[in-house]
Amino acid sequence: MADNADNDVRSLKDLREHPDRFFGDPMEIVDAPRYDYELKLDLLQRWLARVTDGQAEGAPAEEVEAAIFALQARAKLADEEPREAPEVHNYGGVERSDLRRYSVTNLARRVRGYFRR
């Protein structure tokens, strides 16, 4: 059991030092469910630093920067989502009358009606 913990610590240390060796694409870090936000951001920033220093191979700096932006955007969106549904009518659902009103067939009929005039 201690060996597994030591291996995890060693592999995490290696991962932090050389994230570009463990992942082929920076977006893989963003999509990895195993790591929390802080670790993902740290890995991407270290990857960007290695790319800028010329030590990392693979993805260019623009891709790593885009992955950092995507990670931050996801975190911001996750924070803005309500924790619980508010006490308003029909939150998150669509009434059947709304579905009929916005159906593709009905929309096509409306568009056809505008061009016939």
Residue 3 pLDDT level (bands cut at 50, 70, 90): very low
pTM of the model: 0.60
Lowest mean pLDDT segment, chosen from 50-59, 82-91, 103-112 = 82-91
pLDDT on residue 2: 36
Instruction: Look at the chain and report how many structural domains it folds into.
Output: 1
- CA–CA distance from 87 to each of 78, 81, 84, 93, 95 (Å)? 20, 15, 9, 13, 17
Please check whether residue 15 lies inside any domain of the structure.
yes
Residue 107 lies in a domain: no
Q: 21-38: string of b/e by CB count within 10 Å (b at 16+)?
A: eebeebbebbeeeeeeee
C-alpha to C-alpha distance for 11 and 77, rounded to whole angstroms: 31
* Domain with 47 in it: 2-84
Please tell me the predicted confidence (pLDDT) of residue 115. Answer: 67
